[in-house]
């Protein structure tokens, strides 16, 4: 690969990485919206949604890590590419402008952030389920007391 192909590959991997994060955020938003709209407690639905989300999050994190590793490898190849050929001076000037703007990627930091968001999302799902169940229990006890004539 020549230098321009490496640069193109680097930015293609950057775009792919951004898309994985965008999809992740959209799924979390949809999941939180779905959980908020539900009225009554549904334990089986909450378990199923939790398992499906955990599976998605696991695969998404794997895709993010793999893409970030590819991007890092391309960045190393870019930095190791010797400025050869007749246009070496032009490539050198391009490198001086581009390479400082091409940061590495903190894969461990991304992993920790992803896992923290996963735990918060699952905690939110179960907290909403618990609140629905608690709310339903209070309504049932109020209804029972009204039926017995204890509360008007």
- pTM of the shown model: 0.79
DSSP 76: H
Tokens matching residue 5: 């192909």
**Confidence band, pLDDT 50/70/90 cuts, at residue 28:** very high
Helix (H, G, I), strand (E, B) or coil at 12: helix
Distance, CA of 44 to CA of 133 (rounded, Å): 13
Q: What is the DSSP string of 50-111?
A: HHHHHHHHHHHHHHHHHHHHHHHHHHHHHHH----STTHHHHHHHHHHHGGG-----HHHHH
Q: Has residue 130 got a pLDDT over 90? A: yes
Residue-range domain boundaries for the chain: 3-148
- The whole-number pLDDT of residue 63 equals 97
Helix (H, G, I), strand (E, B) or coil at 96: helix
Helix segments in 81-106, DSSP class H: 88-98
Q: How far from 104 is each of 42, 65, 119, CA to CA, in Å?
A: 44, 13, 26
- 8 A C-beta contact, residue 129 and residue 31: no
Q: Has residue 39 got a pLDDT over 90? A: no
Query: CB-based contacts of 104: which residues, under 8 Å, 6+ apart?
Result: 72, 75
């Amino acid at each position: 690969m020549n230098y321009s192909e490496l640069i193109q590959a680097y930015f293609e991997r950057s775009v792919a990485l951004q898309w994985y994060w965008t999809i992740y955020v959209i799924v979390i938003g949809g999941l939180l919206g779905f959980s908020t709209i539900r009225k009554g407690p549904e334990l089986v639905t909450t378990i199923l949604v939790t398992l499906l989300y955990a599976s998605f999050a696991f695969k998404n994190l794997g895709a993010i890590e793999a893409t970030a590793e590819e991007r890092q490898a391309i960045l190393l190849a870019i930095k190791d590419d010797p400025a050869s050929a007749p246009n070496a001076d032009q490539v050198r000037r391009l490198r001086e402008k581009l390479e400082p703007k091409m940061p590495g990627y903190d894969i461990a930091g991304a992993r920790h952030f992803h896992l923290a968001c996963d735990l918060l999302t699952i905690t939110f799902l179960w907290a909403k389920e618990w609140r629905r169940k608690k709310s339903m229990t209070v309504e049932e006890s109020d209804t029972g007391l009204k039926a017995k004539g204890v509360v008007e």
